Chains A and B, each alone.
Chain A
Amino acid sequence: MSTDVAFLAEFADGAPARSALELAAGAAELAGQSGGAAVALAYGPGADAGAAGLGAAGAVRAVVLGSGGGPAIGHAAALAAAVGQVEPLAVLAPATPNGRDLAAALVGLLGVPAFGPVRAVEVADGRIRSEQATLQGSVITVSEPAEGAPSPSIVLVLANTFTPVEGGSGDAEVSEAPSSDAGAFGRARIAESHPAEAAVVNLEEASVIVAGGRGVGSEEGFAPLQDLAAALGGAVGASRAAADAGWIAYQLQIGQTGKVVKPALYIACGISGAIQHRVGMQTAEHVVAINKDPDAPIGEFADLFVVGDLFQIVPKLTQEIKRRKA
């Protein structure tokens, strides 16, 4: 085993995903603690040409798993082969569907320990030590590999746990993963692709989120939330109730079965705050809730809880924020 810390770096349309830049910073930080190097494990369209550029984000080396556009899980065999070559102390994976699939494949193929999704991680005494919220956030646990557990430790990392390096420079030293047969994972293929006409914001990247729930009442009801988000330079999200009702795309759903977000500011409008929603936003730094129900559960964990009609308050709030900015 080396003291290197590897991370999954997903590419789409020729550019690294935000998660790749965050994990590069995280791997560099952990590698600083372990005395090794941050190594990118890059995959997806554009990974071959873009891998060297991860050097500016913190990677010392980059191994290209493949640049094909099929399901991410198709890179699992190459990933396992690359991990066998690099022998890292840990592999950081984004806690996204693709990241989890690849992390899961590594756990199954290599029989190694898995951690997370973590809210903090460090290297202590040469091993991973992770901190995670479990049982819907009711308990915080700190974990490490059991005595004699094989390496690497697989660590799922939530978005916004690490901050991308700014103003970095230099190229990562790029190599190809050892050739491997994609095996059974390669038998899954994208039979049809149905992108939406308009691009959808990646909520995990937003530092301000204005989210709407059942209380928003309709697709049109989201318009004032869009205006407020625009005034704050943020994005609009939703609870499962709003996505199920068809008022907003499922990509914008926040919660246990949607995105887990960690913005600086979260404004919840007409969201009651069920536990399933809470686990998707409870790590937001500041939570403001506007709800006409004084007994809504969100009133128990918001930092600022405003009892009132969102349709009266939100447009005026947008006006006032615009006025102060002007």
Chain B
Amino acid sequence: MTSIVVCIKQVPATTAEKRYTADLRLDRASAESVINPLDEYAIEQALKLAESGALDKVTYLSMGPEQAAEALRRALAMGGDEAYLVTDDALAGADEWATARVLAAALDKLAPDVALMGMASDDARGSLVPGAVAAIRGLPLLSYGAELTLADGAARIRRLSASGFDIIEAPLPVVASVTDQVGEPRYASLKGIMAAKRKPLETWSLADIGLAADDLHGAAALTRVIEARPPEAKPPTERVADVDADEAVTRIVDWLAARKLV
């Protein structure tokens, strides 16, 4: 029996207005939330492997506030078997290390052959969690896969190299991440949405995965935001419209020349 746990994160929708709390944490309750779009590719990859018979079980795991259960339900509507949410007041404002530590502890409990993640999260973009989870669990890392395959007790990914691609292989169990090249994620069907309501979704506290707040350095974050501000206002765009190509070219070259770019 070969199993996979896909780790997903609930993030604010790109269209949502973001607010910060008084201590400069993202106010996740205030924003419309979605499954991190890059995690949907990991879900898609797992479901494809399950359909091909390479996997027997697809489990989802998330860490976040209670409302993150919505993201897990949405994942279950796409397919898969069961989901776990680690939620605990001690985890508010968790950074990469704390997130990795918590996911690693939950993954130790679930003990899948493959722990799969998206290549980055929309709201942070450090891409550090897969590698940190692998380090904490003492497992090989196969990251940035354009495709993941499983055969003969090993996992293989196709990964871009400087000019072409490499196939990188490691014996199971592994921690892996995939990119948006695995193929467009499927939409949840109405049938899927109905079926998801009956699939098991369990909530775990830190204690349930064998961790105490002290294991997270006593506080959930090693980093601290001391300032949050909007980006610098850019000068307004100069628009060139309703001119022929020759005039457009003159305007572009003059603009470049004025900035010593030609």
Contacts and interface: CB of A to CB of B under 8 A. Distances in A.
B51 interface: no
Interface string A57-92: 000000000000001010010000000000000000
Contacts of B231: 133, 137-140
Contacts of A309: 245
Contact of A136 (B122, B140, B234): B122
B22 interface: no
Which one of B123, B167, B237 has the greatest number of beta carbons of chain A within 10 Å?
B237
B98 to A, nearest CB: 9
A198 to B, nearest CB: 7
B168 A306 contact: no
A interface SS class = mixed
A29 interface: no
Contact of A194 (B166, B169, B225): B166
B132 to A, nearest CB: 3
Nearest to B15: A275
Nearest to A109: B135
Contacts of B18: 135, 138-139
Interface stretch (A34-42, A164-172, A180-188, A211-219): A180-188
Contacts of B160: 97, 250-251
Interface residues of B, number: 93
B165 interface: yes
A66 B126 CA distance: 25
A161 interface: no
A144 B226 contact: yes
A14 interface: no
Contacts of B169: 188-191
A192 B253 contact: no
A179 to B, nearest CB: 19
Given A144-B224, A251-B162, A257-B38, A240 B245 contact: no
Interface residues of A, number: 94
Contacts of A190: 166-169
Interface in B7-60: 12, 14, 18, 20, 24, 26, 38
Which one of A304, A305, A324 has the greatest number of beta carbons of chain B within 10 Å?
A304
A320 B253 contact: yes
A156 B127 CA distance: 10
Given A303-B237, A312-B245, A320-B253, A192 B166 contact: yes
Interface string B231-262: 11011011111110110111111011101011
Interface string B97-132: 100110010000000000000011011111111111
A305 B238 contact: yes
Interface in A93-146: 97, 100-109, 111-117, 129, 133-146
6 contacts: A107-B100, A145-B224, A147-B224, A208-B261, A308-B240, A324-B253
Interface of B: 12, 14, 18, 20, 24, 26, 38, 95-97, 100-101, 104, 119-120, 122-136, 138-144, 146, 156, 159-171, 174, 179-181, 217, 219, 221-232, 234-235, 237-243, 245-246, 248-253, 255-257, 259, 261-262
